[in-house]
Structure 1
Amino acid sequence: MLMSEFEIISDGDRRRRWSASEKLRIVEEALSEGESISGVARRNGVAPNLLYRWRKLMLERGTIAVSGDDSVTSSKTVREMESRIRELERQLGRKTLEAEVLKEALERARAKKPILHALSLRPDDFR
């Protein structure tokens, strides 16, 4: 009877953490000729869809994409975030300009206030 090796995860953490070198080795193995993604995934204990994702990231963005243990943000999400940042910067610029114009108008109004008060006095007010 043949026994195969099994990995037993006993710490309660359901997700396995893959190091960058492990990811690269597995992706390179999957890219070699004659190897199916499913076969490589099965041999290494990786879900095939995860291996497809690692391979796609590596082919699109190079080894840096699979080197981090953090999730990699998609290009579409980055473009959406950059667009949102530009919009917010534009709105901030508009509000800053409005604040400066209002501040200048307030300073001018305060400077004219004593003159306007004196001009508004009628001769009858001096009795």
Structure 2
Amino acid sequence: MSNTNANFEMTGILLGQEVRKRKTPQEKIAIIQQTMEPGMNVSHVARLHGIQPSLLFKWKKQYQEGSLTAVAAGEEVVPASELTAALKQVRELQRLLGKKTMEVEILKEAVEYGQSRKWIAHAPLLPKDGE
């Protein structure tokens, strides 16, 4: 058994295996921005940072979709799909608010017009104080 462990350790040393390090969103964005510099391409930048070009392409796609963002400490992370749904709901609510605002303005104008023409009586349906 100890011979197997020794072989494994020796193999790790010979192959130069190292522990994978997860990149933070800030690091990923910095690496992606390097690919956008003149004279740099994805393969070269990937080699410089010891990552696979396919992984860098994946990060770049996430960055373009907006799902790869650097967040400050303590900020809540929200999936891109939830953000998209929330933005859609905000647009719908803004549309409804605009519609209701127009309706209120139209009704105000109608009341003013009716009062100026004496078409609307002064509280005809309300009971008098003594009744």
TM-score, shorter chain, exceeding 0.5: no
Q: 1 or 2 for the larger relative contact order (CA 8 Å, sep ≥6)?
A: 1
Which TM class, normalised by the smaller chain length? 0.3 to 0.5
Q: Which has the higher helix share?
A: 1
- TM-score, length-normalised on structure 1? 0.43
- TM-score, length-normalised on structure 2? 0.42
